[in-house]
Structure 1
Amino acid sequence: MEYVGRAPCPPLDRFVDDIYCLSGVPRHRRMNIPPMPSAHLFLNLGDPVLLRDSAPGVPPAVLAEGWFMGLWTRRFVVEYPARVRLVGVHFKPWGLAPFVGVPASELRDRWLPVDTVWRRSVDRIRNRIGDTGSAAHTLDVLEAELLSRLAEAPPRGLDLVLHAGGRLVTSGGAVPVAALATEAGVSGNHLAAQFKAHAGVTPKRLARIYRFARLILAVDARRPTGWPELAYTAGYFDQAHFSREFKDFTGHTPTEYLALRRRFPAAPGFPPDAGPMPAD
């Protein structure tokens, strides 16, 4: 499967990490996706994709056209068709706020069809892309759509979240949340309320996801892995807490995850393999 991605132009880069195309035959049909610090937009140009929540009793969603996903705080599984043609957007955790007009708390751990937010848009976007459009053309179309949807004035409180969120990014989630509030000159309760409104979770919970992402992306299965050192570097100071959170986020113990990563190494230069793991 081919991945073509790029970072968007300003001002989209304040809210979007990258836009990308996936096409071709997947190496693995089912991928286990751990929580990562991003929200998503998927536009499906091919056969349906299944999204399966790890929470018990939640029916799978059939991604036949397009879906928004808020920040995900637990793992989920993507089940690809035999051939893939998918366009995606990785939003920053707070990045959906100026595009969808839906409180982020209502999108946390949920998927929502694009047309319920952007009325009658999916067919128009797909028609502009066409059946044989190149990856570059596809990304141009999607970037233009995002620019046209970007609110002229950011929602109230978003600038505060952008500033504090930037500190979480640069620290890998290691900065104390109390320090974020102090630097911003607001109370901890006010900061938490703004993060819930624009990212769907408190800064403390988002910091946990950033710490985990920093850890999981640092794993190199080709070399001996010292989990205590990796955990400490990522900001985990309690090994029991680290082990529980790792199992919650991946479905595996650190030892099991490392064994799987050695059996199924990430493809070089293929970001969709960096954190996710085959679920088969």
Structure 2
Amino acid sequence: MNYQQIYPTAPLRKYVRYFWILEDDSLDFSQKTFKIMSDGLPGLIFQESKKAFHDKDNQELPQLFLYGQTTRYTEHRAIKSFRNIGVYFEPTALKSIFGVDANELTNQHISIDELVNTNITDQLSDTTSSNQRIELLSSFLIHLAEQRSTENEKVNFATAQLQKGVSLPKIQSELNLSERSLERYFKQHIGISPNLYTRINRFQLALENIRQTQFDKLTDIAYQCNYYDQSHFIREFKEFSGTSPKRFLRQANEQVANFPEWKI
């Protein structure tokens, strides 16, 4: 498989973390299973080959689809050769760009054609250049953001502070918000509660340590990432990834972050 990562132009940087391209056009292609792990980010995927990917229930995925927060692991299967282009958004992009309450898409996906009156899917299909496709997607997203941008500075501040490890009570105090008010903002703009967002970020921190093998034993990661103990860490790791840390190291071929091919 071939993988590329492309960073957005300046107008998109507050909405898009990066674009990615993943392709496998090998002549001896065999079916592949990919795990979808919780990462705190929504996204968008375009499939050059229609019907190349199916979800865990063996349903075909739309050619161009938007997905929300993933609070539990799931799987996609590639049944034929493919070239996919993806967008990793910032946490609040569903509300900011598409104008939808983010909790409506938590653990869900939707075809762009059902959400927006656009011919962007046809435009992407009519070119074979990945760079041109990213330019088309960029223009499409900038246009939507200019029309619909509904930024919430309180949520942006809270997510930035949580990623720095600041506690929720301190954030609530600084924003002069009750726990219930902050939770309502989070579900509307991010799709999940602040507590769950914090747990997913902690899982991602632990996962990054595992990727870089920066540990002697799992207990080191558990305490470094503020889990109660090793069993608590492993339990949450399985919840968000569908596997144990040791099996992840043995079986995951992770070219796209949080979307590893699973080696049987």
- Asked if residue 160 in structure 1 is aligned to residue 163 in structure 2, the reply is no
- Are residues 259 and 3 of structure 1, via their aligned partners in 2, closer, same or farther at CA, if it must alter by over 3 Å? closer
2:94 aligned partner: 96
Amino acid at match of 2:53: L
* Partner Cα distance (2:41, 2:203) in 1: 13
Residue segments in structure 1 that go unaligned for 5+ positions in a row: 54-58
CA contact (8 A) 1:217 1:274 kept: no
* Partner Cα distance (1:153, 1:177) in 2: 29
SS at match of 1:119: coil
Query: 159-168 or 27-36, which moves further after superposition?
Result: 27-36
- Are residues 183 and 89 of structure 1, via their aligned partners in 2, closer, same or farther at CA, if it must alter by over 3 Å? same
The equivalences for 1:37-186 within 5 A come to 37-53=40-56, 59-127=57-125, 130=127, 132-133=128-129, 135-152=130-147, 154-155=149-150, 158-169=152-163, 171=164, 174-186=165-177
Aligned residue among 232, 239, 243 for 1:252: 243
* Count of aligned pairs between the two proteins: 261
Aligned-residue identity in percent: 23
Amino acid at match of 2:243: H
Deviation at 1:29, TM superposition (A): 1.4
* Partner Cα distance (1:22, 1:141) in 2: 18
CA contact (8 A) 1:15 1:96 kept: no
- Are residues 151 and 232 of structure 1, via their aligned partners in 2, closer, same or farther at CA, if it must alter by over 3 Å? farther
Q: Taking structure 2 as the reference length, what is the TM-score of the superposition?
A: 0.88
| Deviation sequence 1:173-213 (CA, Å, 0-9, x none) | x3321122112222221111100001111111101111101
1:278 aligned partner: 262
CA contact (8 A) 1:32 1:279 kept: no
CA contact (8 A) 2:36 2:259 kept: yes
* Partner Cα distance (1:150, 1:201) in 2: 22
* Partner Cα distance (2:249, 2:231) in 1: 18
| Deviation sequence 1:197-255 (CA, Å, 0-9, x none) | 01111111101111101111211476764211112222323433222111222222333
| Deviation sequence 1:51-73 (CA, Å, 0-9, x none) | 435xxxxx343124111100110
Residue segments in structure 2 that go unaligned for 5+ positions in a row: none
* Partner Cα distance (1:276, 1:184) in 2: 37
The alignment's C-alpha RMSD in Å is 2.5
SS at match of 2:13: helix
Query: 85-94 or 194-203, which moves further after superposition?
Result: 85-94
CA contact (8 A) 1:49 1:64 kept: no
1:30 aligned partner: 33
SS at match of 1:144: helix
| Deviation sequence 1:66-108 (CA, Å, 0-9, x none) | 1110011011112124321211111122111122222111100
Amino acid at match of 1:95: A
